[in-house]
Amino acid sequence: MDLLLFGTLSLVVGTVLSLVLPGNRLRVAVNLLSQAVACYCILYEAIPTVLGGDSVTGVLVWSYPVGEIDLALMPIGAFFLMFAVPMTLLGSIYAVGYLQDDIAGSDHHVGTHFALLSLVQLSYRDCLYGSKRAGVSGRLGVRCLGSMVACDLVSP
């Protein structure tokens, strides 16, 4: 479970750095590196789980009022992560090709494109929820909260 959380942290750091670092080449390189590290961490935990190993479990301790969040990577979630995470990394590598003119010598900030691709990879972490505390109600609560924030941002 530690590698799964480290992979998530790697994606968050890569997303932030791809937005704030100077120069498109550096932004892209850091983001691709963070996605590759996250991909390795996920596959290291997911492949044994899919091949008949036990579910990967852990507890994330949060402050009041949340308390403890039980996390679990079940075989079905690991199966989907095995395909989704590497495909996002491959999509990011492909993006280097079609954005090469903007990366090389343009004033366009391409870090936002790669940050969004990292956020897509972060969205796959929904597969980690598998317990009674962070089950359906926890996911729905987080999604509803995110929807309310998004509505506040776009409403007049």
What pLDDT digit, counting tens, does each position of 1-12 carry?
788 888 888 989
Nearest to 94 by CA among 41, 32, 18, 25: 32
Q: Is the pLDDT of residue 89 over 70?
A: yes
Which one, of 42, 40, 30, lies nearest residue 92 by Cα? 30
Q: Which domain holds residue 49?
A: 2-154
Between 128 and 85, name the one with better pLDDT. Answer: 85
Rounded Cα distance, 83 and 46, in Å = 10
pTM (predicted TM-score): 0.74
Domain count, the chain: 1
Return the bridge partners of 56, or none: 73
Query: What average pLDDT score do residues 141-153 get?
Result: 37
Q: Would you place residue 82 in the very low, low, confident or very high pLDDT band (cuts 50, 70, 90)?
A: confident
Confidence of residue 60 (pLDDT cuts 50, 70, 90): confident
